[in-house]
């Protein structure tokens, strides 16, 4: 707050207005210099692997001012720490919410008068009446412990005794390929995990005002750049004569009090179907038909519903040769929907599912208008997404014992979740940046072919990236679904297929342009953790109340010798081990597919997601809640049934669609799978 001192000079939290204005001016000048430098710098070429990646995670241009405020927060914090070193340890007491630059952002949610609406807001606001901004889109990730930046404010984490090993070296020496399938899980397990990850997390990076992406490998002196450096013995260096992989730092989040950098989540933190419906009003309206509560679709040549299309030829997915045939990439509630063919297929299934439910509700309630039908359908579909995630994904992922200890188990009783308005459901920074990225290790190098060929044919994983075009071919939807159901995943561990460490987002094989080298997803994950200032792996074990790690020998209790040796060759001290690499090197817990640290951090997030959501499907949290009869029907939901009734003509699937068919998970005829009864929603 601002007060007047005896000399009539305005004081801003112990800082005079004159000095604050000076800091603000210097900060704005620094931002202008950075923007000018980025405009002058080389740009990433259209439709290269790096361009595709940037378009997946780049900040929407209409939110550029939020990015600007985040950078200004950094500059103000650094100025006062530099000029007033005595303020370093209480810099968070400097409140800038009333400054003209920050006022609108800081008041945009805090000042909301939240009413007890029957339906969720699209952007997640007012889910918590006391804290309207908790879980809202375009807000900072939550920290479970303070960040560790090299300069204490914003510079990427550095080593405690020596430089951290280059992220790419960690990939090559620790996260190499070692193909061992996990025959319990099929590829749909990874696809559903990615689907719900995109529902709750989307880290943003800044792009230029004109939509271009700065080339960090071709630039110097740009704070936003943090490229991945390659050594001379790197396979990519040898094959493509390149020493650098593009990497732009995440957009800093604005802060209403000064302090270390935070990062923005573009999605709502709630498991609310925003991956289907969008997490801002503008997008959500683009996705609706405004007829009978249904979502917008396009219709294929054979009369089947497809997702609406995106005709932007610079979106990183569309190709001129496909556009010439009238085949475009698709528009969905999340910009990453086209990232791989199987993910696009799941988006399509869920939009078809929404429209199927909406049509049934209209028949039951002909007096309902479009808005009522849409909102009731959205509520049902969201409830089903929550139920599938906790019943079919998390149980095999975390194990029944962990599910029980964190109270994540789906109960047979109707109202079985107690909403707690003191729990902040916001996605934690470590979950978005590290812990839930474990699924990248599941990805196989070869997929069962979705093409109309022999049942034993296989296709490289790289062929499904940014390639939704097979969905235009009649009969392909079912083959793509069965490809995911029939392909097993790799074991969740420290090993990754070269399809994602050397060939990520590569050009299609039939491209007429010179082939450009793919990206390394693992190096980018490690680099992102450092960019976000995630503390080293041992501190997360302490957070999870696990036995502490003080030296490399301590790792022997929960890691194999080969992993420890690789880590010791890379890191000078055990304290410097990156969370991503350390947690994936642990031996899995009994009943879980992950080690204790990743299991703890994932379970902690899903506990927040469940108990911090006022609209959770089986919580009795007010008049907006589902009735007991409605909840009883929702708990009949299976992903298998949803895929069956919304595919073109799938006849048989495993009972749990995320697990490989087996004695305990037999294939079932679609007609024998229970469907939910919508009679409890009838008002006739």
Beta bridge partners of 43: 214
Q: Cα separation of 592 and 601, whole Å? A: 13
Q: Cα separation of 113 and 106, whole Å? A: 15
Residue 599, SS3?
Answer: helix
C-beta contacts of 22-26 below 8 A and 24+ residues apart: 23/75, 23/76, 23/79, 23/80, 23/83, 24/72, 24/76, 24/99, 24/101, 26/75, 26/79
**Could you give the dihedral angle defined by the CA atoms of residues 149, 151, 154 and 157, in that order, rounded to the nearest 10 degrees?**
-30
pLDDT of amino acid 510: 56
Instruction: Look at residue 96 and tell me if it is in a domain.
Output: no
List the structure tokens of 318: 């569309």
Q: For residue 489, which phi and psi values (nearest 5 degrees)?
A: -100, 170
Instruction: Look at residue 361 and tell me if it is in a domain.
Output: yes
pLDDT tens by residue, 474-533: 999 999 999 999 999 999 999 999 999 999 998 765 555 666 789 999 999 999 999 999
Q: Cα separation of 499 and 502, whole Å? A: 6
Q: Residues 6 or more apart from 553 whose CB is under 8 A from it?
A: none
Residue 529 sits at the vertex; the CA angle it makes with 527 and 531, to the nearest 5 degrees, is: 70
Q: Cα separation of 368 and 282, whole Å? A: 24
Q: Note the Cα 550 to chain centre separation in Å.
A: 32
Number of compact structural domains in the chain: 1
Q: Is the CB of residue 10 less than 8 Å from the CB of residue 4?
A: yes
Which residue among 53, 131, 175, 198 is the active-site one? 198
Instruction: Look at residue 646 and tell me if it is in a domain.
Output: yes
pLDDT tens by residue, 175-210: 999 888 999 999 999 999 999 999 999 998 877 766
pLDDT of amino acid 107: 78
**Chain position carrying tokens 């997030």:** 605
Instruction: Look at residue 260 and tell me if it is in a domain.
Output: no
Asked whether residue 668 carries a pLDDT value surpassing 60, the answer given is yes
Residue 633 sits at the vertex; the CA angle it makes with 628 and 637, to the nearest 5 degrees, is: 135
Q: Cα separation of 356 and 295, whole Å? A: 10
Asked whether residue 99 carries a pLDDT value surpassing 80, the answer given is yes
Instruction: Look at residue 673 and tell me if it is in a domain.
Output: yes
Q: Cα separation of 127 and 78, whole Å? A: 34
**Average pLDDT, rounded, for the chain:** 92
pTM (predicted TM-score): 0.95
Residue 322, SS3?
Answer: helix
Instruction: Look at residue 478 and tell me if it is in a domain.
Output: yes
Instruction: Look at residue 151 and tell me if it is in a domain.
Output: no
Lowest mean pLDDT among 103-112, 247-256, 334-343, 376-385: 103-112
Q: Which CA distances in Å does 120 have to 375, 393, 587?
A: 9, 24, 40
Instruction: Give the percent of the chain with pLDDT over 70.
Output: 94
Q: For residue 554, which phi and psi values (nearest 5 degrees)?
A: -65, -20
In DSSP notation, 138-154 reads TEEPBPSS----TTSSS
Residue 684: CB atoms within 10 A of its CB come to 8
Asked whether residue 8 carries a pLDDT value surpassing 80, the answer given is no
Instruction: Give the percent of the chain with pLDDT over 90.
Output: 76
Q: Residues 6 or more apart from 7 whose CB is under 8 A from it?
A: none
Instruction: Look at residue 278 and tell me if it is in a domain.
Output: yes
Residue 158: CB atoms within 10 A of its CB come to 14
pLDDT of amino acid 64: 75
> Residue 465's domain is classified under what CATH number?
1.10.640.10
Q: Is the CB of residue 291 less than 8 Å from the CB of residue 278?
A: no
Q: Which CA distances in Å does 350 have to 306, 353, 436, 642?
A: 11, 5, 22, 8
Residue 137 sits at the vertex; the CA angle it makes with 225 and 135, to the nearest 5 degrees, is: 115
SS3 content of the chain, % helix, strand, coil (to 5): 45, 10, 45
pLDDT of amino acid 3: 41
Domain that holds residue 676: 274-434+459-492+613-681
pLDDT of amino acid 2: 44
pLDDT of amino acid 521: 97
pLDDT of amino acid 5: 42
* pLDDT classification of 6: cutoffs 50, 70, 90: very low
pLDDT of amino acid 153: 94
* pLDDT classification of 13: cutoffs 50, 70, 90: low
| Mean pLDDT value across residues 5-14 | 51
CA neighbor of 623 nearest in space, from 83, 70, 117, 37: 117
Lowest mean pLDDT among 81-90, 234-243, 277-286, 311-320: 81-90
Q: Is the CB of residue 647 less than 8 Å from the CB of residue 481?
A: yes
pLDDT tens by residue, 134-161: 999 999 999 999 999 999 999 999 998 8
- Residue list for the binding site: 440
pLDDT of amino acid 7: 40
Q: Is the CB of residue 214 less than 8 Å from the CB of residue 44?
A: yes
Q: Cα separation of 181 and 169, whole Å? A: 25
pLDDT tens by residue, 436-449: 999 999 999 999 98
Q: If you ran DSSP here, which 8-state letter would residue 159 be given?
A: -
Q: Residues 6 or more apart from 630 whose CB is under 8 A from it?
A: 680, 681
List the structure tokens of 648: 């073109």
Q: Cα separation of 264 and 278, whole Å? A: 16
pLDDT tens by residue, 302-338: 999 999 999 999 889 999 999 999 999 999 999 999 9
Specify whether 198 is catalytic: yes
pLDDT of amino acid 65: 83
Q: Cα separation of 374 and 363, whole Å? A: 14
pLDDT tens by residue, 635-659: 999 999 999 999 999 999 999 999 9
pLDDT of amino acid 62: 67
Q: Which CA distances in Å does 328 have to 236, 355, 459, 589?
A: 31, 22, 22, 44
C-beta contacts of 234-241 below 8 A and 24+ residues apart: 234/168, 234/172, 235/172, 235/502, 236/502, 236/517, 236/520, 239/517, 240/516, 240/517
Residue 560, SS3?
Answer: coil
Q: Residues 6 or more apart from 527 whose CB is under 8 A from it?
A: 167, 226, 228, 247
Lowest mean pLDDT among 9-23, 234-248, 340-354, 405-419: 9-23
- Residue list for the binding site for heme b: 440
CA neighbor of 523 nearest in space, from 55, 45, 172: 172
Report the chain's C-alpha Rg in angstroms: 25
Asked whether residue 86 carries a pLDDT value surpassing 80, the answer given is no
**Chain position carrying tokens 């991503």:** 580
pLDDT tens by residue, 559-618: 999 999 999 999 999 999 999 999 999 999 999 999 999 999 999 999 999 999 999 999
């Amino acid at each position: 707050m601002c007060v007047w001192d005896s000399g009539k000079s305005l004081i801003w939290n112990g800082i005079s207005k004159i000095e604050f204005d000076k800091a603000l001016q210097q900060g704005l000048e620094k931002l202008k210099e950075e923007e000018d430098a980025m405009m002058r710098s080389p740009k990433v070429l259209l439709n290269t692997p790096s361009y595709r990646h940037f378009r997946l995670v780049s900040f929407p241009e209409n939110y550029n001012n939020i990015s600007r405020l985040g950078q200004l927060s950094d500059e103000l914090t650094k100025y006062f720490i530099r000029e007033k070193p005595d303020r370093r340890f209480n810099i968070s007491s400097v409140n800038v919410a009333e400054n003209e630059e920050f006022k609108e952002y800081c008041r945009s949610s805090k000042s909301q008068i939240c009413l007890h609406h029957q339906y969720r807001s699209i952007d997640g606001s007012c889910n918590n009446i006391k804290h309207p901004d908790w879980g809202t889109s375009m807000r900072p990730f939550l920290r479970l412990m303070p960040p560790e930046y090299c300069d204490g404010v914003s510079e990427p984490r550095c080593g405690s005794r020596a430089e951290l090993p280059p992220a790419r070296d960690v990939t090559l020496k620790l996260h190499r390929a070692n193909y061992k399938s996990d025959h319990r899980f099929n590829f749909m397990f990874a696809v559903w995990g990615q689907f719900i990850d995109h529902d709750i997390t989307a880290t943003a990076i800044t792009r230029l005002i004109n939509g271009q992406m700065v080339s960090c490998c071709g630039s110097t002196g740009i704070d936003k750049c943090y490229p991945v450096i390659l050594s001379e013995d790197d396979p990519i260096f040898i094959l493509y004569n390149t020493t650098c992989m593009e990497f732009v730092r995440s957009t800093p989040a604005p802060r209403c009090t000064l302090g270390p950098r935070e990062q923005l989540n573009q999605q709502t933190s709630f498991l609310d179907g925003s991956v289907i419906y969008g997490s801002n009003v503008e997008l959500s309206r683009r996705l609706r038909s405004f007829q009978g509560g249904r979502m917008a679709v396009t219709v294929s040549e054979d009369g089947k519903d497809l997702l609406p299309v995106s005709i932007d030829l610079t979106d990183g997915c569309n190709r001129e040769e496909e556009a010439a045939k009238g085949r475009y990439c698709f528009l969905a509630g999340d910009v990453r929907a086209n990232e791989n063919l199987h993910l696009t297929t799941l988006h399509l299934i869920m939009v078809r599912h929404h429209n199927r439910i909406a049509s049934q509700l209209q028949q039951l309630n002909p007096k309902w208008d479009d808005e009522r039908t849409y909102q009731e359908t959205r509520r049902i579909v969201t409830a089903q997404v929550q139920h599938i995630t906790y019943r079919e994904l998390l149980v095999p992922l975390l194990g029944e014992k962990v599910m029980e200890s964190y109270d994540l188990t789906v109960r047979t009783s109707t109202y079985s979740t107690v909403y707690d308005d003191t729990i902040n459901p916001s996605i934690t920074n470590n979950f978005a940046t590290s812990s839930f990225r474990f699924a990248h290790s599941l990805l196989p190098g070869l997929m069962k072919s979705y093409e109309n060929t022999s049942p034993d044919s296989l296709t490289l994983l790289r062929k499904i990236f940014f390639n939704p075009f097979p969905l235009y071919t009649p009969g392909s939807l079912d083959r793509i679904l069965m490809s995911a159901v029939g392909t097993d995943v790799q074991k969740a561990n420290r090993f990754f297929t070269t399809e994602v460490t050397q060939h990520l987002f590569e050009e299609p094989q039939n491209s007429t342009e010179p082939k450009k080298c793919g990206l390394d997803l693992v190096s980018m994950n490690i680099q992102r953790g450092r960019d976000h200032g995630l503390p080293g792996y041992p501190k997360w074990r302490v957070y999870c109340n696990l036995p502490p790690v003080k030296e490399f020998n301590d790792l022997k209790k929960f890691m194999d010798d080969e992993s420890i040796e690789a880590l010791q060759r890379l890191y000078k001290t055990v304290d410097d081990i990156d969370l991503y690499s350390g947690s994936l090197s642990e031996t899995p817990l009994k009943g879980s597919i992950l080690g204790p640290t990743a299991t703890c951090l994932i379970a902690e997030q899903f506990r927040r997601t469940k108990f911090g959501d006022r609209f959770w499907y089986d919580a009795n949290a007010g008049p907006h809640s589902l009735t007991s009869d409605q909840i009883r029907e929702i708990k009949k939901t299976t992903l298998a049934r949803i895929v069956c009734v919304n595919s073109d003509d799938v006849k048989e699937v495993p009972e749990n669609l995320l697990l490989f068919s087996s004695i305990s998970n037999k294939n079932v005829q679609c007609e024998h799978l229970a469907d939910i009864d919508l009679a409890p929603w009838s008002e006739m």
